[in-house]
Structure 1
Amino acid sequence: MNSTIMLFLVQDGITNGAIYALLGLALVLVFAVTRVILIPQGEFVTYGALTYASLSAGQMPGTAKLALVMGIAAFAFDLFAARRLLRWQKLARAFAVNVVLPGAVLALTSWLAGRHSPVLVNVGASLLIVALIGVFLYRLAFQPLAHTSVLVLLIASVGCHLAMQGLGLLFFGAEGQRGPALADAAATLGPLRFTGQSIAVYALTVGFIVALWLFFGLTVYGKALRATAVNRLGARLVGIRTSLSGQIAFLLASVIGALSGILIVPITTLYYDTGFLIGLKGFIAAIIGGLVSYPLTAMAALLVGVVEAFSSFYASNFKEVIVFTLLIPVLLLRSLAAPAVEEEGE
């Protein structure tokens, strides 16, 4: 291997690592706020990518219909919860958010599907559709289980992953799709050539990380999320709605996943089940960060991307094995550093 090839591999690894960093940050955020290990994060990637590709091809994505169906189900949940004390103002607001909004998005998507809209319009519509799915997923699957154990939440997360993967096959079929690039510009730096898509990956990743930092540090909702992550019971005692915090966390996670998919789909062909493997690599970065540290998760994601790139060059058949092997020393070190807990006697 010469220096030029090594630079190409590092460039490829950093590009992939930037995507994994976004997914890892989303996983850490959701786990910190809701205690949910978000296995369906990969499905958000797939839904965002293939919804964008379908709209770009002039096709109607089934995810818009799914958002409306999930919204109607969420409204039915709200009706059942308020059956003893009907507050018409609250029900009207729930109807507007759960039914009217996804219905309007479905109408907009149907209108966009018949014409070749600009790239940014398709990106915005795709993000909006997947964001609605993320919010309704929390409302239907995880909010009723918010006070159960982590194991129960994990089982529910696996079930949501399987259901969403099956729906992805129904909506998009077994054939892969690719979408148009976000930018056609290109730049060269020595032997390296940066395409418009790779530049978009770097810019959007950095921009999103900065936006999250500002959101958590300066906004009321961001501070509420931080308080919920630190002490869920304490947050409830001071008046923070933990259910709303969970919805915001899932909203951010779904938008991050959809954005990651939109960044990937012009580079490589994506299938209905591709997102699961991509999400697992973000999960590796989150585990290395201990599911608590955002900076460590981002650095671990870059490491995962670089290791994957070099593994593809030296042993392409075993690159996934090599990447997932990174978990073994991390888990071993964490188990050795954890305090010993004696088993309770009978």
Structure 2
Amino acid sequence: MNTTILLFLVQDGITNGAIYALLGFGLVLVFAVTRVILIPQGEFITFGALTYAALSSGKLPGTAELACVLGFVAFCMEMFSMRNQFTTGRFVRATALYLFVPALALVLAQFACGGASSVTINIVLSLIIVGPIGLYLYRIAYQPIAHASVLVLLIASVGVHLALQGLGLLFFGAEGMRAPPVTDVAISIGPLRVTGQTLAVYIIAICLIVGLWLFFGHTIYGKSLRATAVNRVGARLVGIRTVLSGQIAFLLAASIGTVSGILIVPMTTIYYDSGFLIGLKGFIAAIVGGLASYPLTAAAAVVVGIVEAFSSFYASNFKEVIVFTLIVPVLLARSLSAPAVEEEKD
């Protein structure tokens, strides 16, 4: 191995690590606020990537119709929960959130498919379509069992993952898709040639990290999420709506997964089930961070990306085995050092 190959491998590892860091942040956020291990995070990657690819090719993505169906189901569940305490404000909010938003996204997607749309429009539409799906899934699958044990929530996540994976096959088929890059700009740094897509990954990852830091540190909703993560019962006692916190957490996680998919799909072919494996690597970073620490999750994600890049070069047949083996010593160390505690009961 010479210096040029070494630099290319490090560049590839950092690029992948930036994606895994974003996914790890989404997993940490959702678990901290709702105690849900978000296995369907991989499906948000797939849906975001394939929705963007479909819009770029002038096709109407099935996720736009899925958002309408899920929104209608969530609306019906919301109306059923309001049967004894109906309020006009809550009805208007539910109508706008569960019916108007997905319907508007479907209309905009149909309009965009009818003519030539720009990359920016396709990215925004992908976020509007896939992002709310996370919120609707929380209302349908997780909110009714929000007080269940972590094991029950994990089982629910597995069920949601399998359902979404089947829907992905139904909407997009078994063949993979790719999309045009966000930008065609490229720069050369010594022997390295950094493409515009790689630069977009770095810039967007940094912007999202800074944005999350500002959100959690300087906004009321962000501080409410942090309070809910520290103590759900205490948060409710001081007037924080933990249900709203869960909705925001799932919306952010789905949006982060969508952005990650959009960044990945120009660089590699994405299939209906590709997101699961990518999401698992973000899960490794989140586990190393203890499902609590964002800086440690980011550092672990970069390590995972670099290990994956070097494993691909030296032992490509075993790269997945090597990457997932990283989690074994971490889990062993945590199991030996963590004291036995009883699960918090709401």
TM-score (norm 1): 0.97
What is aligned with 2:208? Answer: 208
List aligned pairs for 1:80-229, cutoff 5 A.
80-229=80-229
Once the two structures are TM-superposed, the CA of residue 2 in structure 1 deviates from its matched residue by 1.0
Once the two structures are TM-superposed, the CA of residue 339 in structure 1 deviates from its matched residue by 2.9
Q: Secondary structure at the match of 1:184?
A: coil
Residue 331 of structure 1 aligns with an amino acid whose one-letter code is L
Residue 54 of structure 1 aligns with an amino acid whose one-letter code is A
Measure the CA separation in 2 of the matches of 1:100 and 1:257.
Answer: 23
Q: Over residues 117-141 of structure 1, what are the superposed CA-to-partner deviations in whole Å (9 max), with x where a residue is unaligned?
A: 0000000000111111011010100
Q: Secondary structure at the match of 1:115?
A: coil
> What count of residue pairs does the alignment treat as equivalent?
341
Q: Over residues 90-119 of structure 1, what are the superposed CA-to-partner deviations in whole Å (9 max), with x where a residue is unaligned?
A: 212211221112111111111111222000
Residue 174 of structure 1 aligns with an amino acid whose one-letter code is A
Residue 294 of structure 1 aligns with an amino acid whose one-letter code is Y
Once the two structures are TM-superposed, the CA of residue 335 in structure 1 deviates from its matched residue by 1.7
Residue 195 of structure 1 aligns with an amino acid whose one-letter code is T
Residue 93 of structure 1 aligns with an amino acid whose one-letter code is R
Measure the CA separation in 2 of the matches of 1:94 and 1:339.
Answer: 43
More divergent stretch after superposition (296-305 vs 331-340): 331-340
Q: Does residue 77 of structure 2 align to residue 77 of structure 1?
A: yes
- Give identity over the alignment, percent: 69
Once the two structures are TM-superposed, the CA of residue 336 in structure 1 deviates from its matched residue by 1.9
Compared CA separation, residues 100 and 256, structure 1 to 2 (3 A): same
What is aligned with 1:344? Answer: none
Q: Secondary structure at the match of 2:147?
A: coil
Q: Secondary structure at the match of 1:270?
A: coil
Once the two structures are TM-superposed, the CA of residue 242 in structure 1 deviates from its matched residue by 0.3
What is aligned with 2:344? Answer: none
What is aligned with 2:320? Answer: 320
Q: Secondary structure at the match of 1:37?
A: coil
Does the 8 Å CA contact 1:21/1:298 hold for their aligned counterparts? yes
More divergent stretch after superposition (121-130 vs 77-86): 77-86
Measure the CA separation in 1 of the matches of 2:340 and 2:241.
Answer: 36
Residue 277 of structure 2 aligns with an amino acid whose one-letter code is L
Q: Does residue 246 of structure 2 align to residue 236 of structure 1?
A: no
Q: Secondary structure at the match of 1:194?
A: strand
Q: Over residues 63-84 of structure 1, what are the superposed CA-to-partner deviations in whole Å (9 max), with x where a residue is unaligned?
A: 0101111111111011111112
Measure the CA separation in 2 of the matches of 1:338 and 1:291.
Answer: 14
Q: Secondary structure at the match of 1:47?
A: helix
Residue 174 of structure 2 aligns with an amino acid whose one-letter code is A
Q: Secondary structure at the match of 2:179?
A: coil
Measure the CA separation in 1 of the matches of 2:240 and 2:268.
Answer: 42
Q: Secondary structure at the match of 2:188?
A: strand
Measure the CA separation in 2 of the matches of 1:19 and 1:276.
Answer: 14
Does the 8 Å CA contact 1:178/1:270 hold for their aligned counterparts? yes
Measure the CA separation in 1 of the matches of 2:96 and 2:328.
Answer: 48
List aligned pairs for 1:237-256, cutoff 5 A.
237-256=237-256
Gaps of 5+ in 2: 342-346
What is aligned with 2:55? Answer: 55
List aligned pairs for 1:287-326, cutoff 5 A.
287-326=287-326
Measure the CA separation in 1 of the matches of 2:74 and 2:159.
Answer: 18
Deviation >3 Å, runs of 4+: none
Cα root mean square deviation, aligned: 0.9
Residue 88 of structure 1 aligns with an amino acid whose one-letter code is T
Residue 198 of structure 1 aligns with an amino acid whose one-letter code is T
Measure the CA separation in 1 of the matches of 2:314 and 2:205.
Answer: 28
Residue 303 of structure 1 aligns with an amino acid whose one-letter code is V
Gaps of 5+ in 1: 342-346
Residue 132 of structure 1 aligns with an amino acid whose one-letter code is P
More divergent stretch after superposition (84-93 vs 320-329): 84-93
Residue 166 of structure 1 aligns with an amino acid whose one-letter code is G
Residue 321 of structure 1 aligns with an amino acid whose one-letter code is V
More divergent stretch after superposition (94-103 vs 50-59): 94-103
What is aligned with 1:68? Answer: 68
Residue 15 of structure 1 aligns with an amino acid whose one-letter code is T
Once the two structures are TM-superposed, the CA of residue 340 in structure 1 deviates from its matched residue by 6.1
Does the 8 Å CA contact 1:57/1:116 hold for their aligned counterparts? no
Does the 8 Å CA contact 1:47/1:168 hold for their aligned counterparts? yes
Q: Secondary structure at the match of 1:64?
A: helix
Once the two structures are TM-superposed, the CA of residue 186 in structure 1 deviates from its matched residue by 0.5
What is aligned with 1:281? Answer: 281
Measure the CA separation in 2 of the matches of 1:5 and 1:180.
Answer: 26
